[in-house]
C-alpha cells in the first residue's frame, strides 16, 4: 500500500467516525425532545414499565420506559406517562383524567415543536365497543319518544321502558305507545338484552307523582291492588321485570313504610317468576358532599329485596355541580360504604343532558361539533354543564372497577356517530380488564 493510499484511507476513517458521532448526538437530541425526563411520582413507582415505540415526524423510532397511564393512579406536575402510543406530561395534579382529552395532559411530541394530526374519538387504539355479562349498562327509554335508532344493543344490557303511570286508586294508566314497547322487547331479546318496565318517574303531565304514589299505597288493600296492576302489565307485554321509580318516599313519613311493603310484595312475586326488580334511588349524597336525608327511606329491607339499584347521581345543582365525577363517586360511596350495599348491585347513573338548559347532548353536538370534548359550552346564549366524552369515560371506568354497572337517563338524548356517549361507554367496557 502506497503512502498516498494510506493517507486517503486514514482521512476517510476520521470522517466516518466524525459522522457517526454526529448522528449519535442527533439521535440523543431527538430522544430528549420526544421523551423528556420527569419527576418520579408514587404512581410511577408502582406502575409497570412498558417500553413503547413512538413514531416521530421523520418515521424514526424512539423508545420510552414511561409507565402506562392508569385512571386509578395519582399524577403530579411533570409526571410523564404513555397512552395510546404517545407520551404525555402532567401539568398539575390529576387522577382519572384521560390523556388527549383533558387539559391537564400535554402531548410531549407537540410540546417539543412537532406537529401531530388530531385524533378522533374512535381512533385505532379504541376500535370496538362491547358489553360484559357481569357489568350492567342500563338505559332508560321514554315512552313518549320515537327514536329506536338510539337503542344500541351492542352496548346495552338492560332497557327500562319509562314509564307506567300509577293512579291514586292503586292502579296503572294504560301503557303509552304500547306497540313501540313490544317492538323494543322483541329487538332487545333478539340481542340478549333485557327490558324492564319502569313505574313512576318524577311527574305526569307536569304534575309531580309523589302524592299519587302516597295515595296508591296508603292502605294494604290499595298496595295489593297496585302490585297486582304492576304484575299484570309486566306479564301482559313480556317485560323481564320492574324498575320502581318512586320519587320519592320520605324517611319521616308513612310513605317509607308503604314503599317498603310494596317493594317486598313485588320482589316475592317477580322473583317467583324469574323476573327482576330494580329501584331508582336518590343520589345518597348532595353536591356539597352531605348525606341526602331521605335516601334512608330506601330501607335495608328494600335493598336486600331488589336485584340492583340505579343511583340517580345527576343533577345535584346547576353549573359545575351538575353531575361531576367527584359527585358521582360520593354518591356511590354512600350506597357502598355508608349503607353497605354490595358493590355489584350498585349501578351508577349518568346524564345525557345539560343543566340548567335541560338540552340533550345531541343538541349540544348539533350546536358545537367539539362539544364532545368538553363538559361546559355556551348553548343558545346560556352557559350549560353536562358530561362530555372524557367524563363519561372516567365514570364508566370507575364503575367498571368499583361498581356493578352504569345507567343512562336517557337514551334518545345521545348523539350519533363517533361521538356518541354510548360509544364512549362501550369502548370503556371493552377495554377495561
Burial (CB < 10 A; 0-12, 13-18, 19+), residue 33, is middle
The architecture (CATH level 2) of 34-111 comes to Ribbon (2.10)
Q: Which contacts (CB < 8 Å, 24+ apart) does range 316-320 have?
A: 316/283, 316/286, 316/287, 317/287, 318/355, 318/356, 318/385, 319/355, 319/356, 319/383, 319/385, 320/376, 320/385
| pLDDT value at residue 25 | 38
Alpha-carbon 136 to chain mean position = 11
Q: Is the peptide bond before 153 cis (omega within 30 degrees of 0)?
A: no
Q: Which contacts (CB < 8 Å, 24+ apart) does range 340-343 have?
A: 341/303, 341/309, 342/404, 343/402, 343/403, 343/404
Question: How many CB atoms neighbour CB 353 within 10 A?
Answer: 22
Which CATH superfamily does the domain covering 136-431 fall into? Answer: Glycosidases (3.20.20.80)
| pLDDT value at residue 112 | 59
| SS3 label, residue 353 | strand
Burial (CB < 10 A; 0-12, 13-18, 19+), residue 225, is middle
| pLDDT value at residue 287 | 84
| pLDDT value at residue 113 | 55
If residue 351 lies in a helix (H) or strand (E), which one and from where to where? strand 346-351
Please give the full DSSP string across 196-239, using - where no structure is assigned.
EEEEEESEETTEESHHHHHHHTSSHHHHHHHHHHHHHHHHHHT-
| SS3 label, residue 340 | coil
61-64 vs 276-281, strand pairing mode = unpaired
**Domain pair 34-111 / 136-431, same fold:** no
- Given a contact cutoff of 8 angstroms between Cβ atoms, the answer to whether 407 and 310 are in contact is yes
Q: Is the peptide bond before 335 cis (omega within 30 degrees of 0)?
A: no
pLDDT-flagged residues of the chain (< 50): 2-11, 13-64, 114-127
Alpha-carbon 245 to chain mean position = 21
Q: Say which residues have a Cβ less than 8 Å from residue 42's Cβ, sequence separation at least 6.
A: 74
Q: How large is the C-alpha radius of gyration of the chain? A: 28
Torsion over CA: 184, 185, 189, 194 (sign): positive
| pLDDT value at residue 33 | 34
Angle at 432 (CA atoms; ends 427, 433), nearest 5 degrees: 145
- Given a contact cutoff of 8 angstroms between Cβ atoms, the answer to whether 30 and 62 are in contact is yes
Q: For the chain, give every domain's residue range.
A: 34-111, 136-431
pTM of the predicted structure, to 2 decimals: 0.72
- Given a contact cutoff of 8 angstroms between Cβ atoms, the answer to whether 108 and 89 are in contact is yes
Amino acid at each position: 500500500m502506497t503512502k498516498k493510499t494510506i493517507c486517503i484511507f486514514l482521512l476517510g476513517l476520521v470522517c466516518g467516525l466524525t459522522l457517526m458521532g454526529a448522528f449519535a448526538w442527533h439521535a440523543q437530541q431527538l430522544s430528549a425532545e420526544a421523551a423528556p425526563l420527569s419527576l418520579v411520582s408514587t404512581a410511577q413507582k408502582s406502575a409497570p414499565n412498558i417500553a413503547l415505540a413512538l413514531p416521530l415526524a421523520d418515521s424514526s423510532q424512539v423508545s420510552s420506559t414511561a409507565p402506562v397511564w392508569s385512571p386509578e393512579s395519582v399524577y403530579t406536575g411533570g409526571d410523564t406517562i404513555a397512552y395510546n402510543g404517545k407520551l404525555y406530561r402532567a401539568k398539575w395534579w390529576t387522577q382519572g383524567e384521560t390523556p388527549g382529552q383533558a387539559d391537564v395532559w400535554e402531548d410531549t411530541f407537540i410540546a417539543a415543536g412537532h406537529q401531530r394530526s388530531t385524533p378522533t374519538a374512535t381512533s385505532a387504539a379504541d376500535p370496538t365497543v362491547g358489553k360484559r355479562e357481569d357489568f350492567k349498562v342500563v338505559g332508560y327509554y321514554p315512552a313518549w319518544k320515537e327514536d329506536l335508532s338510539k337503542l344500541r344493543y351492542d352496548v346495552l344490557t338492560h332497557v327500562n321502558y319509562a314509564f307506567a303511570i300509577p293512579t291514586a286508586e292503586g292502579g296503572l294508566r294504560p301503557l303509552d305507545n304500547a306497540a313501540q314497547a313490544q317492538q323494543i322487547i322483541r329487538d332487545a331479546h333478539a340481542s340478549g338484552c333485557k327490558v324492564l318496565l319502569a313505574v313512576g318517574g318524577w311527574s305526569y303531565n307536569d304534575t309531580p307523582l309523589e302524592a299519587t304514589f302516597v295515595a296508591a299505597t296508603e292502605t294494604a288493600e290499595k298496595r295489593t291492588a297496585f302490585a297486582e296492576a304492576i304484575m299484570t302489565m309486566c306479564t301482559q307485554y313480556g317485560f323481564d321485570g320492574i324498575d320502581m321509580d318512586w320519587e320519592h318516599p320520605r324517611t319521616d313519613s308513612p310513605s317509607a313504610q308503604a314503599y317498603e311493603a310494596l317493594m317486598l310484595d313485588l320482589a316475592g312475586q317477580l322473583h317467583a317468576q324469574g323476573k327482576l326488580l330494580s329501584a331508582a334511588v336518590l343520589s345518597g349524597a348532595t353536591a356539597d358532599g352531605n348525606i341526602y336525608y331521605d335516601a334512608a327511606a330506601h330501607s335495608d329491607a328494600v335493598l336486600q329485596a331488589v336485584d340492583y339499584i340505579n343511583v340517580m347521581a345527576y343533577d345535584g345543582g346547576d353549573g359545575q355541580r351538575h353531575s361531576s365525577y367527584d359527585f358521582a363517586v360520593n354518591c356511590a360511596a354512600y350506597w357502598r360504604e355508608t349503607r353497605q350495599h354490595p358493590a355489584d348491585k350498585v349501578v351508577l347513573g349518568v346524564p345525557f343532558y345539560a343543566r340548567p338548559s335541560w338540552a340533550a347532548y345531541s343538541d349540544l353536538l348539533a350546536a358545537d361539533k367539539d362539544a364532545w370534548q368538553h363538559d361546559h359550552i355556551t348553548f343558545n346564549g346560556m352557559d350549560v354543564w353536562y358530561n362530555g366524552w372524557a367524563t363519561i369515560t372516567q365514570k364508566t371506568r370507575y364503575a367498571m372497577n368499583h361498581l356493578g354497572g352504569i345507567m343512562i337517563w336517557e337514551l334518545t338524548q345521545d348523539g350519533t356517530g363517533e361521538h356518541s356517549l354510548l360509544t364512549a361507554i362501550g369502548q370503556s367496557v371493552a377495554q377495561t380488564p
